[in-house]
Structure 1
Amino acid sequence: MVGVTNGNKSGKVLKVGVIGLGELAQVSHILVLNSLSTHFEITYICDISQQALDFCEKKVAGGSPKTTLNAEDLITSSDTDVVVICNVNAFHPSQAILALQHNKYVFVEKPLALNYRDLDAIIAAEQTSEAKVFVGYQRRYAESFLDAVKEVGGMKKIDYIRVRDIIGQNSSFVDQSGTFPKKYTDYPKQDTAEMKSTEEEMVKTALIDEFGVEATPESMTMFRLFTGLGVHDFSALREMVGMPSRVVGASLGLPIWNVLFQYEGFPVMYESGIIDVPRFDAHLEIYSRENIVRVDYDTPYVKGLPVTMTIREKIETAKGDGYQERMIRKTYEDPFTLEFLDFYVCATKKTSPKTSAVDARKDLDLIKMIMQNAY
């Protein structure tokens, strides 16, 4: 992560256009961008729901933004310097490419795309653009995660890693977030039908044409879970230790699933699921003979909940082996805030983010390994 602080030494305030005014925009992104008023100003918002536009227009700080039902109007407007895309997955590729064609840095919520065809089209568009894509893998911008990467890098040998992401229903956290989001259905039925058919074609392209896997209801469900929830874990795991050499086995199904990866010299157990207990049990835990390093995440939908790093290790005492446990919380700044600060640096200095389109492609490689093993 590029070193940034909340103070904006450059003085430049970027004009932001936000596409997609659903749960994530209402609970997080609009509020975060409002808070970072020395860095960003929301000048344009877009959604296919007029009611969502009317509602979110009042949530934007610093004056009323322009509104539109058409994403192209926002992307091509001189009233936007950068674009934030947090709408449905089906439209991420085309809108990201359009932003790149207009040389605008674009923040795209994960997943950036659902297949290699669309990912490669985005990567190709970057080659002829002055701008870059920034993928919203916020967990990788948490300070505790970055500290853990350094700690793990200093281990003599990794012996085992556990990656867990077994969480409660999002609604349990959103309803208690104090942000009071609203859902609207005042959009044309043909738009919903187009979105569903486009997304299904994207998923089937990945499974059938690119993975060689049958597109059954079960395989499509797991693929969507991997590209939605799983990429948070896969992306962080990759930054920590790279790609696995193979998938040893997988037990896929609802509500909890797991995968065993083999790395050179150690295994990684990935376990994930969505249950009804309102608890956010998400962590990476890395074991060596000398110490154990763990990063714990809480729900991102409640602002200010800390990401922590815990180090457990043997210590020498006068009476023999002792035990030491340290829990480090460097900041209450949430990962969404930290990643938007990094996005600002990339957009103003014209640099490439670590969570790039090329980087996101590796998550699809990993998902392909799982799906081919299981199906």
Structure 2
Amino acid sequence: MTTAHTNGHANDNGDSNGANQIVLNVAIIGVGEVAMTTHVCAPRRASEMACSRFQLPTLLLCSHMYRTVALVDISKQALEHCSKKFHVPKTYTDVEYHVPHAVQSLKAGKHVFIEKPMAITLGGADEIEAARQESGKLVFVGYMRRYAEAFLRVKEMVKDLPKGSINYIRVRDIIGYNHFFVDQGGNFPVKFSDFPPESAAERQTLGDACLAEALGKKATNALDQRFWMLLNGLATHDISAMRELIGMPQKVLKAARSPDGLFTWVMFQYDGFVAFYEVEYKVLSEKTGIDGVRKFDAHIEVYTKDKRIKVTYDTPYVKGLPITATILSSKPNGDHSEEVIRPTYEDAYTLEYKAMYAAITEGTPVKTTAADAKQDLEIFTMIMDAMEA
């Protein structure tokens, strides 16, 4: 999760983009593998801001916009490691979670950047939105794939399609183990396990309460528990992007999973077409049968009678890999055409941070809001209701 705040003071030192650039102070809550590989930035004089689960290396390269001044994590070893590696002066070990920390930050007058999942219950989402309205501050949810330039290009192409021309949509996310890419990303993250026993117990208690609220009677089923966390983890990227591209589904026609729960298939009903979603559950052990091919296979593809439009994502753990838009079409003379568009090498995390910076400093609208994120939970509930045993 991430929170953010600024008083809007100008940077006294100036920067490469011009004099009086506003730089936002950041406090990062949660400095695990994701934060170490994709999100902390080095110190710089700036205005105030607080954040959690920001990508440390990416923020380092965005030092004209952000300055990390504090780290928060339950692991003292992780704090010591990141503090030294990224030159962040202040560290704290307070134990918090997405919803309570977001609410507390909003009540303290901070803007909030919160990594997905924003919340794993509808009640938690409502709590954050209520705090946002009361505080008047921003809540920016970290759906970075929706800020990729190639995705926005595909969105415009789909928007321009004649009404009723979509025949089918496929959403796919089978991406293997994180370490396939993290180990080769050049960021050298380190994992720590010095967690106080009482914190593990507290997390378990809170997790059980959230699952009971979200799943009701299904909360006692281990596969349902794991599946709900899959939906609120990896699947949020896909479902959120699908929503922006084609809106909310009318209903879930069918949802099924493999006997071990590692692979899931969902069919969504839209007006005149079906969207098919396939996703794998990401687990830590390589002995569980998860896909072991070292390919990050994530895309959304729109099928019409004579055209296919696809956005293809690559792993975010290796900075600079392109996200592309591909258009396949049939020409009137029978020719087959294939066009691949690579708008930029700029990664989606950086583009996301630029969007949040503009929202805070210039007042530009935020599309990945708390209310927007709640729609994912509504879809996840539809999927759970349709899931076959």
In the superposition, the TM-score normalised over structure 1's length comes to 0.88
Structure 2 partner of 1:23: 33
Within 5 Å, give how 1:184-203 maps onto structure 2.
Answer: 184-203=192-211
Structure 1 partner of 2:256: 251
Offset at residue 347 of structure 1 (A) = 1.7
Equivalent residue of 1:150, what SS? helix
1:172 and 2:180 aligned: yes
Q: Which runs of 5+ in 1 are unaligned?
A: 1-5, 72-89
Q: Distance in 1 between matches of 2:18 and 2:70?
A: 22
Contact 1:8–1:38 (8 Å) recurs in 2 = no
Q: Distance in 1 between matches of 2:219 and 2:352?
A: 36
The one-character-per-residue Cα deviations of 1:64-118 (angstroms, maximum 9, x if unpaired) are 42111126xxxxxxxxxxxxxxxxxx70000001111122111111000010111
Tell me: CA distance 1:214–1:325, structure 2 relative to 1, closer, same or farther (3 Å).
Answer: same
Within 5 Å, give how 1:1-375 maps onto structure 2.
Answer: 7=17, 11-29=21-39, 30-60=56-86, 63-70=87-94, 91-156=97-162, 157-208=165-216, 213=218, 215-253=220-258, 254-274=261-281, 275-316=291-332, 320-374=333-387
Contact 1:148–1:309 (8 Å) recurs in 2 = yes
Offset at residue 220 of structure 1 (A) = 0.8
Structure 2 partner of 1:77: none
Q: Distance in 2 between matches of 1:364 and 1:10?
A: 41
Offset at residue 7 of structure 1 (A) = 4.2
The one-character-per-residue Cα deviations of 1:226-277 (angstroms, maximum 9, x if unpaired) are 1101111100000000011111111123322101111010001101114222
Equivalent residue of 1:147, what SS? helix
Q: Which amino acid aligns with 2:180?
A: S
Equivalent residue of 1:180, what SS? coil
Q: Distance in 2 between matches of 1:207 and 1:229?
A: 19
Tell me: CA distance 1:167–1:64, structure 2 relative to 1, closer, same or farther (3 Å).
Answer: closer
Paired residues in the alignment total: 344
RMSD of aligned C-alpha atoms?
Answer: 1.6
Contact 2:71–2:88 (8 Å) recurs in 1 = no
Contact 1:131–1:350 (8 Å) recurs in 2 = no
Q: Which has the higher contact order (CA 8 A, sep 6+)?
A: 1
Tell me: CA distance 1:27–1:265, structure 2 relative to 1, closer, same or farther (3 Å).
Answer: same
Larger deviation, residues 193-202 vs 241-250: 193-202
Offset at residue 351 of structure 1 (A) = 4.7
Contact 2:296–2:315 (8 Å) recurs in 1 = yes
Equivalent residue of 2:335, what SS? strand
Contact 1:222–1:252 (8 Å) recurs in 2 = no
Q: Which amino acid aligns with 1:234?
A: I
Structure 1 partner of 2:7: none
Q: Which amino acid aligns with 1:336?
A: Y
The one-character-per-residue Cα deviations of 1:44-67 (angstroms, maximum 9, x if unpaired) are 11111111111101232xx54211
Q: Which runs of 5+ in 2 are unaligned?
A: 1-15, 40-55, 282-290
Percent identical:
42
Contact 1:104–1:130 (8 Å) recurs in 2 = no
Offset at residue 8 of structure 1 (A) = 6.7
Equivalent residue of 2:331, what SS? strand
Larger deviation, residues 162-171 vs 143-152: 162-171
Contact 2:26–2:66 (8 Å) recurs in 1 = yes
Q: Which amino acid aligns with 1:138?
A: M
In the superposition, the TM-score normalised over structure 2's length comes to 0.85
Tell me: CA distance 1:10–1:326, structure 2 relative to 1, closer, same or farther (3 Å).
Answer: farther
Q: Distance in 2 between matches of 1:143 and 1:64?
A: 31
Q: Distance in 2 between matches of 1:10 and 1:332?
A: 28
The one-character-per-residue Cα deviations of 1:298-327 (angstroms, maximum 9, x if unpaired) are 1111111110000111223xxx31111100
Offset at residue 32 of structure 1 (A) = 0.6
